[in-house]
Amino acid sequence: MAVHRPTPYSLWYGTVRLVGGTPRQTLITMKSSPDSNRTKILSARIAPVTPLNRRRMPSVARFGFELVLLVLLLGGLGACTGDSASLDDAGGDGASEVDTTSGSDSDNDNASEVDQGDESPPLAAAVPEPAQIDVGGIWVDPARLRSLPMSGPGWEAIRQAADGKWDKPKLNNGDNDHDVQVLAGALYAARTGDNDMLEKVESELAEVTGKRAKDILPLARNLLSYVVAADLIDYRPPEFTSWLREVLDAEADGRAGIVSLRESAMSDPSNHGTHARASVLAVALFTDDEELADTVADRFHDWLGRSSEGFLWKELDWQSDPASPVGINPVGSRIDNLQVDGVLPEEQRRSGGFEVPPPREGYVWEALQGAVATAEMLDRAGYPAWEWEDRALQRAFVWLYDVNDYPAEGDDTWQVWLVNRAYDTDFETTSPTRPGKNLGYTDWTHQS
């Protein structure tokens, strides 16, 4: 498994060298080859500093960036020739792509290199116009975010939430909106480069740092947007990242005797667990904890239908196979001639025992809030989570819409934009959407 996160590099005549700073604080990002345990540069992205990010970049990184530009300019402007490297205009966002698909990997452990041979031409290009650098990426592609329109009902909802009065942070209140308000501010700052908004978001993230929750469910709901917001603006003070790691195992009251957010993510099949898996995954990706991200991915895959082991199941009335309970019933499953393919049995049971016609149970949509967020983050990190267990999440939506006649409404409407984008489906959407209990604003971030 690889959490597909760029590492800070600068370009030097076919060689890639570290220049310092965190992955999202540098000006060069890269894609690594999946077929090697060493880094092989397939493409590198050059994007210049803007006021939003320059002030947060360590001086060594700023120096490295400026020196790279100097090398590029003095190395000879003009098009690169040959098959070993080419520089093409990326268009739209003031960035360029350097393709270095040929050459072999270096065995040097201190710097990843693209071996282009002794006669490789120097990399050269005109310096692009200022544009926002690639920051974040857990939730939305940075280049995509920069290209989204600053108009329309989705954007207006973000602007109003960002400019409005924000709640006080209350991690133990699952209905507190501070988390999604901070997310709106981060989206606004990341798209516009507004320094006042950036500082407001940073201040609110600093205020929530160190807080604890008595109960797991509100923590699981609230934490995710804070992590995504921090990722969007590259907010990474040590005390914040330390708090994120600590809060995973902080003692709190959970369902069925569960005592921490991490434990909930690993063993709770209900909506408590789906929210917990989303928040724990976000922390893992944000802190580059690949082992934890792998573990959450495995448990999510299990919950979708791969395995029953290790989950604390309750009543099994809606399980198509009570001997092997799952988070989403498998393809083709039926109970007493009712199609239950796509049912979330652990939530549908909240309405009581099995009956026809099936009741509309709101906890199903609650559980899906955590599940679709988890799938989207895993997909961005390189896991084909939307495809797992015969497209389990698509089947869940099909059952709700076509069998249960229970479309998304209220604070669940943001989920539909993700599912339509993932599966190329056409479930009815609304805009603006209401933020959910853990995320929102997908009618802007994930619009077609």
Give pLDDT tens digits for 284-306. Answer: 999 999 999 999 999 999 999 99
pLDDT score of 175 = 87
Q: What number of other Cβ atoms are within 10 A of residue 92's Cβ?
A: 10
Q: Which residues contact 312 (CB under 8 A, 6 or more apart)?
A: 255, 256, 258, 267, 268, 269
- State phi, psi for 204 to the nearest 5 degrees: -70, -35
Distance CA 168, CA 182 (A): 11
Higher pLDDT, 124 or 176: 176
pLDDT tier at 174, thresholds 50, 70, 90: confident
Distance CA 326, CA 314 (A): 11
Identify the DSSP state of 304. Answer: I
CA angle 19, 147, 7 (to 5 degrees): 20
Going by C-alpha positions, the residue among 401, 430, 427, 403 that lies closest to residue 414 is: 430
Q: With 70 as the cut, is the pLDDT of residue 157 above it? A: yes
Sign of CA dihedral 348, 353, 355, 361: negative
Instruction: Map residue 41 onto helix, strand or coil.
Output: strand
Going by C-alpha positions, the residue among 308, 418, 423 that lies closest to residue 371 is: 418
41 bridge partner residues: 32
Q: What number of other Cβ atoms are within 10 A of residue 314's Cβ?
A: 14
Tokens of 116: 């282009």
Q: What is the pLDDT of residues 111-143, one digit of tens each?
A: 333 333 333 333 333 333 333 433 469 999 998
pLDDT score of 77 = 39
Of 54-63, 170-179, 285-294, 381-390, the poorest mean pLDDT is in 54-63
Q: With 60 as the cut, is the pLDDT of residue 103 above it? A: no
Output the pTM of the full model.
Answer: 0.73
Mean pLDDT in residue range 96-112? 33
pLDDT tier at 374, thresholds 50, 70, 90: very high
Going by C-alpha positions, the residue among 312, 372, 380 that lies closest to residue 346 is: 312
43 bridge partner residues: 31, 99
Q: What is the pLDDT of residues 200-221, one digit of tens each?
A: 999 999 999 999 999 999 999 9
